[in-house]
Amino acid sequence: AGGVPVGGLLTHSLLTPTGAIVLVGGWVAASALVSLALVAPGGRLADMLAVAAAVGLGLALTRGAGTQAGAGGNDPLPALLAPLCCLAAGVITFRIAGTLLQGAERLARRGPALTRLALIGLARAPAAPSLAIAFLAVSVGLGGFALAYRATLLRGTADQAANQVPLDAIVAPGADFTTPLELAPAASWRAQSGGRVLPVRRTEATYPSGGGTVTVPALGVPASGLILIHGWRNSDGSASLPALARRLEPTGPARTPGPLLEPGARWLAVRASAPGVSVSLTADLRDRSGAIRQLALGTAGAHPAVLSARIPPGTWELEALELDELTGLAITNGHQNGENLAPATQASTNVALGPIEALDGARRPVMRVPIGAWRAVGSASAPARSGSSAIVGFAATGQPGLVRPPQPSDVHRIPVLVDPQTAASAGPGGLLSLTVDQLPVAARVVGVLKRFPALGSGAGGFVIADEATLAGALDAQLPGQGRADELWIATDHPQELRAALAAGPLSQLSATFRADVQRSLRSAPIARGLLGTLLAAAGLAAALAVLGLVVSLLGAARDERVQQDLEAQGVGPRGLRAELQMRLALAGVLGVLIGLGIAVALTGLAVATVQAAATLAAPSPPLVTVVPWGELAAFGVVAIVALIGASWLIALSLDWHWPARRVPRPSLERVPAR
């Protein structure tokens, strides 16, 4: 649907004139050939048609599988699967119906008299009843196929909608790139939705492959929320979804928090010096919601000095100290490295840091933060440990250096789920070196997935990690870089969430609801027309089934000797009526049961070629065969009830006082031997 011309879709669908003619013509031809073949003497024509149908069925399946493996097409041959199956099934049903009726008659000899009489009437001259049962089975089979085809298409639209929106809604940044968590905290979103809210980090990851690199989409999704994903199939992953979710969960805390500043702290001060190159010093503070606030402390120069800045109101955690080269030095280094063919010549220096102190309003120390055990990453090299102070190497590379508490990602690789191609590029033990947002991330492959929702059909691969673990690894390189930029929401009150997103600051966000996507797919012209056609086909099949049974058993093909024998034995109009009703009911039940079996067989054979015969391109995820057992059972019950009701009404409407037309009986006199 999205962005695909309707004309192109219809050109490649069964709703074209050619496709419709092929399907309807095949159906009519199958019914006509079944009737002609079955009433022809000898049965050779029926056997020849059955063999021809089997050959055509094999060819259609081969062509359908080849088309499905490709990009799709408008080959009309897969559309003949249902008529070909019905032709073969009709002949087989005719062949076995007589045997079944005769066997049932022998089994019913000790049963109720009415049932025995009805079965005797059916088994005495089984040609017409077998034809009626075969026609009924074909009609019910085609009707059941229509229901299964419809169920498969509806399942396909539901799966495609879930592939775009895994939960009930996705709330993402709008045109100004403001994220949902920047406008409202997670607790507020949970209150608005009344359900689970999953913070998701959407970005890209690059990994080495062969002699180059490959860039794929990357998602950070809470591992505990993976089981909420709609439309997931067991075949999509190397293990069940709960098992894969457990593999993503970190074994310990995803992040080691920094020191919490005292409530009475008003100033943050650090003693610093950088004798070689002046370095800009910034304190990264984290609030309770996880947002990062940068506090510029000043510039460290050749002489030791105390750099300080006022702490904003609130509760803050000291995440890290950030070291940056001054703006002018960054521009100069960029020009020199761009014009110099030799390796880059960045300026470097040692930066003395510490101690860090939090001061009250009178600038009296209220807490001291030792940083001797902190780690240096990025453009900062490992510090020289000295208790509350540290000497850090810093290179002016254009990237910041960070001095922070040790984090789990320093020693543990983050577990990830990847596609097969990415998994093939991993090293021994599934080790994978990623670059996420230009930051190095050490990962380990713990599962392989064929697909993952919310990535788009053009994704050549993907990397999936636990959101908190990925955020901890990114924040360890650059504070704030790992914060979620969209929300996946599961809600039982979508209207309340829609109302909240339609007014106030939240209206600037982009929201997509799974129900809207599914409704759009179902209301597309091709889907609406095809579903209507299939429902009409199911209704037509039921009507044809009733008509075929009545005409076959009460029309010119009926055996009037049954009625003559019953009249000769003194059976009155009421008995004749009851026997006819039972005869119609038994033939109808047998035909419906065989037809339901044909419908199930058609589902397994023909629905697998829906993609080849009725779509422009392979849907994502691929279609799966759906057998609507409940609908098939209801369809069978309705067909049986309709047949019984029709037989009852027809039997009542007949004038049983008219004598049956006498049919000459074969002579029983012994022929003298010659």
Q: Which helix (H) or strand (E) holds 388?
A: none
178-211 per-position pLDDT tens digit: 999 999 999 999 998 989 999 999 999 999 998 8
Asked if residue 16 has pLDDT above 60, the reply is: no
Residue 60 domain-assigned (yes or no): yes
Asked if residue 157 has pLDDT above 80, the reply is: yes
SS3 content of the chain, % helix, strand, coil (to 5): 50, 20, 30
- Per-residue model confidence (pLDDT) at position 562: 61
Span of 22-31, 230-239, 292-301, 621-630 with lowest mean pLDDT: 22-31
The domain boundary, picked from 482, 509, 538, lies at 482
59 and 11 in a common domain: yes
486 contact partners, CB below 8 Å, separation of at least 6: 170, 171, 172, 173, 179, 180, 199, 200, 202
Asked if residue 4 has pLDDT above 50, the reply is: no
Residue 659 domain-assigned (yes or no): no
Residue, of 46 and 452, whose pLDDT is higher: 452
- Per-residue model confidence (pLDDT) at position 489: 97
- Per-residue model confidence (pLDDT) at position 555: 53
Rounded Cα distance, 511 and 515, in Å: 12
241 and 282 in a common domain: no
Residue 233 domain-assigned (yes or no): yes
Closest among 356, 383, 324 to 258, alpha carbons compared: 356
pLDDT mean over 108-131: 75
Q: CA quadruple 602, 603, 609, 611: dihedral positive or negative?
A: positive
Residue 512 domain-assigned (yes or no): no
585 and 542 in a common domain: yes
Structure-token pair, residue 112: 């109720």
619 and 648 in a common domain: yes
Rounded Cα distance, 554 and 153, in Å: 39
- Per-residue model confidence (pLDDT) at position 485: 94
Largest Cα span, the chain: 141
The domain boundary, picked from 346, 371, 406, lies at 406
188 contact partners, CB below 8 Å, separation of at least 6: none
Q: CA quadruple 221, 226, 229, 235: dihedral positive or negative?
A: positive
281 and 233 in a common domain: no
434 and 524 in a common domain: no
- Per-residue model confidence (pLDDT) at position 211: 84
| Residue 32, Cβ density class (10 Å: 0-12 exposed, 13-18 middle, ≥19 buried) | exposed
Asked if residue 674 has pLDDT above 70, the reply is: no
Can you tell me which residue has the tokens 């000095």?
Answer: 305
219-241 per-position pLDDT tens digit: 999 999 999 999 898 889 999 99
Residue 42 domain-assigned (yes or no): yes
- Per-residue model confidence (pLDDT) at position 243: 95
319-350 per-position pLDDT tens digit: 999 999 987 555 555 555 555 544 455 688 99
pLDDT-derived band at 642, boundaries 50, 70, 90 = confident
152 and 45 in a common domain: yes
Rounded Cα distance, 426 and 207, in Å: 9
Q: Is it true that the peptide bond before 257 is cis, omega within 30 degrees of 0?
A: no
Average pLDDT for the chain: 79
419 and 391 in a common domain: no
649 and 551 in a common domain: yes
Asked if residue 563 has pLDDT above 80, the reply is: no
Residue 128 domain-assigned (yes or no): yes
Residue 617 domain-assigned (yes or no): yes
Q: Which residue segment(s) compose the domain that 62 sits in? A: 6-164+520-653
pLDDT mean over 387-413: 90
Residue 447 domain-assigned (yes or no): yes
Q: Which amino acid is at 339?
A: E
Q: Structural domain tally of the chain? A: 3
247 and 292 in a common domain: no
Q: Are strands 267-273 and 305-310 parallel, antiparallel or unpaired?
A: antiparallel
392 and 355 in a common domain: yes
- Per-residue model confidence (pLDDT) at position 560: 61
342-382 per-position pLDDT tens digit: 445 568 899 999 889 999 999 999 999 999 889 999 999 87
- Per-residue model confidence (pLDDT) at position 70: 44
649 and 525 in a common domain: yes
